[in-house]
Structures are given as structure tokens and as C-alpha cells.
Structure 1
Amino acid sequence: MLKILVIFLILVAGFFLGPLLQGHQGSAIFVVANYKISMSFISFVILLILTFLCFYLIYWFIKKIFNSKTTLGRWLRLKSPHKAVKRIEQAQIFLLEGNYQQAAKLFMKSAKGATNTTLSYLLAAQAQIENDELIQANQLLEQAAKSCQPRELFAFQLVQLRLQIKNHEYDAAQILIERLLNEKPRNPEVLRLADQLYYETANYQAVIDLLPIMYKTKVYSESQLDQFKQAVYIGRIKQLTADEDPQQLINWWKSQPRAILNNLSYQKAMIYCLKQLGQTDEADKLQVAITKIESQERT
């Protein structure tokens, strides 16, 4: 509308200046098919401006129709919700088949006519993440952000988090995962992504802190969680050993629950690491405890 106002002001100025320049208007002559058309230069300018104004109004009107959500608008844009649904269905099949590239293409195409543009872009971004096309995934996330509604924000954040982890953007992922853990501490996908992030960044203590809620919410099967638990505890023992501070390792060990203290695998790992640090007395104490447990099991 600002453009229309500017053109209107120019016209008004022309009408006012026209009479003032009546004796100095100049002339414009056109010859078309043996017809001679002559007019003053100011009249020609005014006519030209009016023509541009008419073209602009026609352009504005057509643009409104094209951008409208009516059936006519969708037909003119070749954006059919029915076609979008078909594309989404086919894209989902490709996604299940592991054809992530084709799935992403169809999700992008479906966004043009889908009732939920954000969803199509997010699905396309997820397919590109699975396909290791991280630059394209980031571009699709930017498109999704433009139309993302509050009810879609959580799904957007999960896709964003997967991309950050895949792209090794651990600092940004750390900030986002902490926020999500505060907002949805029992959400299985948030817990899975937190576990993945902490394990990749060797933050074993953070994984250990998550284990109780992961068992309660059954994020993985119990056998899988038991395997993860053993891996992170032994990883944490080795990590503290690498710090070369025996007291820190000993204090950490003593602060663990009884079930951990009585676990033979962890005890043996502690004995090995304590000997590496020169803490033979502590290692011998643990060896005595192991001997007692093993003798009790035999009887």
C-alpha cells in the first residue's frame, strides 16, 4: 500500500504542477500505423504513471488470488492438498524403506500444498539427517522455523537436537537438552537423545544420573540398560583414573549405592585402576571384599 500512496502523491503533484507549467509543457508525438498522436509531455507522464498504477493494481489483485487459500488459489498455484497427502504417503514409504533422499524430496514438494507446512519440512529435515545431508537438513529446519507454531515447537526442537548431535555441535546441543530435560524430564525421546549426547561427549556421570529415570520410563529394554549401565560406570572409573587424583576416585566410589559397591565387575575395575594410581591398600580392601562374595556364592 505504501507504493500506491507514493504513486498517488506523484499524481497529485503532477495535477498541481501541470497548470503551473502550462506554457512550458513540451510535447510528445507518437506515430503508430500511420496515426499521429501528439500530447503535452506532462500529459504523457501523467498517462504513463496511471498506466503503471493500473498494472500494479492488476498485479496486486492477481497475487492476492494466487496466495489465497481458496480452491481457485490452490488450483492456480498447482498446490492441491490431495496431491500433498499422496506425496506425504509415498514419502513415508520411502522413509521406511531407507530411501531417505527420495523421501526428503517428496516431503519438500508436499510442503507447497500441505495443510501443515512445518510438518512437511521437519519430516524432510529428519530424512536428510538420516541420509547424512546435514547442510540440506539445516536449510529445511530454517524453512520449518518460519511457520512453526507453539504446538509444533517440541517436535522442531527434537529434530534440531538430532541435527546438532549428528553435526557434533555439542555446546548448542547441551544447552537445548538441558532445557528439554527441565521441561519434559520423563519423555523417552528426550532421554534417549540426552543419553546419546552425554555418551558421545564422555559425560559419563550425566548418563549415570539419568539411569534411574531411564529404568522407570523403560526407554530401552532392561537388558540394554544393564549393558549401558556397566559401560558408563566402567567408563567413569577409567575417566577418574585418568585425572590422576586417587582421592577423587575413592570418594566417588564410596558415594555410590550399595548395589554398585557390591558389583564384581565394578570392583575388579576399581582394583585395577587403584593399583595403577599406587593405592594398593584400597585395592587390597576391595580384593578382600571380592573374595568374601565369591566364597559366599560357592557355599
Structure 2
Amino acid sequence: MIKLLLLVAALIAGIIVGPMLAGNQGYVLISAANQTLEMSLTTLLLLVVVLFGLFFLLENLIKWLLSLSSVTRGFFSGRKTRKARQLTSNGLVKVLEGDWKQAEKLVVKSATHSETPLLNYLAAAEAAQEQGQFHQRDEYLRLAAELDSESLAVALTRARLQCRHHQYEEAVATLQDVKGAHPRNPLLLELLKQCYVALEDWPALLGLLPALKKHGSLTEEQTDALTVKAECGLMAQISQHSGSDGLMGHWNSLSRKAKQNPALVTCFVHEMCARNADSEAYTVLREALRKKIDPDLVRLMPTLKLTDNHPAIVTLTDLLRYDSSNATTHSALGQLYLRDGKYKEARTHLEKAIELHPSVSDYSYLVEVLEKLNDKAAANRLSREGLALALPPKI
């Protein structure tokens, strides 16, 4: 615009000044390399104006040509982008349909001109894994990481695919790299949970549970179930590597709430009995029953291999003072009396247990007691009753 104004001003000046100089045009001499050029001043001025105008026109012509080239490039570039968008869309549909080979082909082909190349490579990685091409999967993940090395989506996709291929240690390493920047991400926490369970890394799982519960990934019931699973798994590992002494030390380090959990007491008793530490297991079991009469814990009492069953019988007898109609306690007492050869007492408690809550196992124990007492008729009758209880009802 400025150049155009200057050109117009020069033309106007030439029109005004030209006639004034018509009678006195002046003289201009240009000499260079033995060549001379002579002209009037008026001619020189007009020549300068004309040349300036030609340069102006040439400049605008070049700009127009360049803009025409840009439009052409934009047209072809836009065409490639539109084609890439369509191929990407078709590829993602193939991913959903499970056509992994075609999905990989489409999303990789369109990645270069795609508006979302990261998504293309992540979809290609999943398609490659489903075809068992794990080296190619890692290559696609590498290309995705090059586009955004700090992308949480890339890390989560990598870890998810590694978990699916049972590469749990690699998945944990992948997730730990981004956990510091995204400690509350529910999918990250869920993947870590799956890895820890698969690896039986119970201490790590126990450390993760508060975050899972806090950020709503687990309900109260799910948290409790996972806590029991992890604690029982940890007890089994300690028992295997450190024996009953190591397990006892671990038990003593637990919180009061954990020691009152019947499921954890059950795990502890089983592990201690497996290490022939039944007496120590009985001590813990007795303390737990004093705080809460739990049927599952009561059933453990007759499974203990004690040198003297009298303390266990006393403990169970005391429990009947608080709940005389507890069939499980009567059954446990009957089994202990049977083991000690006190058949009359065993018969009394087993008959009471059957009266309160019939079970096939108690019928079996009572039949054994009656045979010891030489009461064949009653033993045969109870055998038939127990068998009828064991058989499914007739339709």
C-alpha cells in the first residue's frame, strides 16, 4: 500500500513539475566503463517512475503466484488429511471388530498424515499384540513415546498390554515411572493391583490398598477381601522362608484389629499347624475366641494336634456358658471327647449338635461313637439318617 502511494505521488509530481521544466529540462550524463548515456532530467525522472512501477507490478505478480502455490499445497495437504482421518476411523472400527491385521494396516498407513498420530500408534500396538507380534508392538509404542514422551496414555497402554502378555514385572516398572506424576489415576492403581496380585508381591499390595480405597477404586468389602488375601499370602511366604518362629514374630507385629479378624486368625492357624506348631496356634486361637465366638474359629479347635486336649475342651466348655445353643461348639467338643476316648460325653455333645443343626459330618462322628459304645442299632439308624441328609431331595 505504501509503495502504491509513493508511485501515485511520483506520477502526480511528474505531471505538475513536467510542464514547469519543459522549457528548462536540464542535462544528465552517465558514464561507466567507457560508455556514456545522455538524457534530459525530465526523461530520467519519467524513467525512474516507470521502472518503479514495473518493479511494483513484478512484486505483486510474484506474490500472487506464491499464494496460488500455497493454495495448491493446502488443497493436496487437506486431501491427505481427510483421507488419513477416514483411514484412522476405519482402522479403529476394525479394532473394535477384532480384525487386528486390517486394523494395524489402516492405522499405520494413515499415521503420517493423521491429526492424532499418537492414537494411531497406540491402536497399532494393541493390534500387533493381539496378533502375537510383540516386537512390532514395542516399536509402535516407541513411536508413540517419541510423539509425547510424558504421555500417560502411552504408559498405561504399554502397561496394560504388558499385563495382558503376563509381563508383570515390566508392567510394574512402566507404571512406577509415571506413578509419581499421576498418583491418583484409577486405571494406573488398578493395573498395579493386578500386577502385585499376579506377582504375589503382598507387601506392595498392602501398601497400595489405602490409595485404592481412598480414590474410590475399591469398595469397603473389596478392600477387606484383598487385605485378607494379601496378609494370608504374606503369612504363607514368611512361614515358608522363616518357619513358625518368623510367622509368630510377624503375627505379633500386626495391629490389634488384624489379630481380631477371624479370616486372618484362620490363615495363621493353618500355617502354624503346617509347621507342627499347633500349641502356639492354639494360644492365638484361644485368645481370638475369648474376644469373639466365631464359628469358623471354633471349627479349627478339633483340627489342632495337641498333646493334651484338655485345655481346648475347657476353652470350648467356657464358650457354651455364653451360648449353650451353639451347634458348632457342641460339635467341636464332641470331636475332642471322641479323640480322648470319652464316648459318653462325645455322644451327648454330638447329639446336641445334630439337634440344633444337622450335618453329615456330625452324623458320621456320632455313628463312630455309637459303634465304640456297641450300640449297633442306634448306629445303623443314624447311618440311614445321615445318608438321607447327604442325598439330594427327591423331586
Q: TM-score, normalised by structure 1?
A: 0.64
Task: Give the drift of 1:188.
Answer: 1.0
Deviation per CA, 1:115-171, whole angstroms, max 9, x where unpaired?
12222101221343355442321121132233x135x52222222223444445555
Name the residue aligned to 2:267: 269
Distance (whole Å) between structure 2 residues aligned to residue 226 and residue 99 of structure 1: 40
How many residues align? The count is 227
Alignment gaps of 5+ in structure 2: 1-68, 296-321, 324-395
Name the residue aligned to 1:248: 246
Which one has a bigger Cα radius of gyration?
2
* RMSD of aligned alpha carbons: 3.0
1:282 pairs with one of 269, 280, 283: 280
C-alpha contact (below 8 Å) 1:186/1:217 kept by paired residues: yes
Distance (whole Å) between structure 2 residues aligned to residue 174 and residue 93 of structure 1: 30
Name the residue aligned to 2:121: 121
Of structures 1 and 2, the one scoring higher in RCO (CA 8 A, sep 6+) is 1
Distance (whole Å) between structure 2 residues aligned to residue 132 and residue 200 of structure 1: 21
1:295–1:163 Cα change, 3 Å: closer
Deviation per CA, 1:45-91, whole angstroms, max 9, x where unpaired?
xxxxxxxxxxxxxxxxxxxx9xxx9535536xxx6322333333333
C-alpha contact (below 8 Å) 2:272/2:278 kept by paired residues: yes
C-alpha contact (below 8 Å) 1:129/1:166 kept by paired residues: no
Name the residue aligned to 1:149: 148
Name the residue aligned to 2:174: 176
Percent identical among aligned pairs is: 25
Paired AA for residue 125 in structure 1: A
Distance (whole Å) between structure 1 residues aligned to residue 126 and residue 218 of structure 2: 22
Q: TM-score, normalised by structure 2?
A: 0.50
Paired AA for residue 118 in structure 1: L
Deviation per CA, 1:80-108, whole angstroms, max 9, x where unpaired?
32233333333333333444444333322
* Greater displacement, 124-133 / 237-246: 124-133
1:161 pairs with one of 142, 156, 159: 159
Distance (whole Å) between structure 1 residues aligned to residue 219 and residue 88 of structure 2: 32
C-alpha contact (below 8 Å) 1:122/1:144 kept by paired residues: yes
Distance (whole Å) between structure 2 residues aligned to residue 254 and residue 129 of structure 1: 47
Task: Give the drift of 1:206.
Answer: 0.5
C-alpha contact (below 8 Å) 2:108/2:120 kept by paired residues: yes
Paired AA for residue 214 in structure 1: L
Distance (whole Å) between structure 2 residues aligned to residue 230 and residue 288 of structure 1: 20
Name the residue aligned to 2:74: 71
Paired AA for residue 109 in structure 2: K
Task: Look up the SS of the partner of 1:215 in the other structure.
Answer: helix
1:85–1:265 Cα change, 3 Å: same
